[in-house]
Amino acid sequence: MILMRAVRRYPLLKNFALPVAAAALCLAQAPDPKSVAASAAADLKDFERVCGACHNTSLVSDIRTEPEWEETIETMVSVGANATADQLKSVMRVLLRTLTRVNVNTAKASQLPLVLDIDEATARAVVKYRSDHGDFKSLDDLKKVPGIDSAKLEARKDRVVF
């Protein structure tokens, strides 16, 4: 309200105030890196608790797709894995962060953040870039997407399918 009055009173503020306000809103909604790390640590603890109750968690080592991991979790629950729904979500997030591959030419934006270690806005940019420019053919094509961190992508290149 105060911002709108100021913009009417000082028209030049419109050129500066609205972009600054929009940027502030985006920053306020961005996840805090500390809370993301804490969440990842909590997820790992649940993963160790749930999966480690039946077997050594180092046995979980192959890279699969998200549907394959979902099927594996369902199988584990059917044979007696004991976990709450929230713990199973934590287990899935750990698997997505560490052992999941994704086809960047068919994935929805919601399937990309944890696997590629990108935020949701960058995931949407990947899907938009793909729809505007066609399928990705290589990692170099994917690196052209605005917001992609080349180093993070290189570290996960074995998890990207074209």
Q: How confident is the model at residue 24 (pLDDT cuts 50, 70, 90)?
A: very low
pLDDT at 3: 44
- What pairing do the DSSP bridges indicate for beta strands 160-161 and 102-103? parallel
Q: What is the pLDDT of residues 26-61, one digit of tens each?
A: 444 455 666 678 899 999 999 999 999 999 999 998
Percent of the chain with pLDDT over 90: 74
Q: How far is CA 83 from CA 10, 60, 78, in A?
A: 59, 17, 11
Domain range summary for the chain, segments of one domain joined by +: 1-30, 33-98, 102-161
pTM of the model: 0.76
51 phi, psi to nearest 5 deg: -75, -35
pLDDT at 38: 84
pLDDT at 9: 55
The tokens for 105 are 């030419």
31 phi, psi to nearest 5 deg: -65, 140
Q: Does domain 102-161 have CATH number 3.30.70.20?
A: no
Q: Identify whether the C-beta of residue 111 lies closer than 8 Å to the C-beta of residue 65.
A: no
- Please state, as a whole number, how many other Cβ atoms lie within 10 Å of the Cβ of residue 2: 6
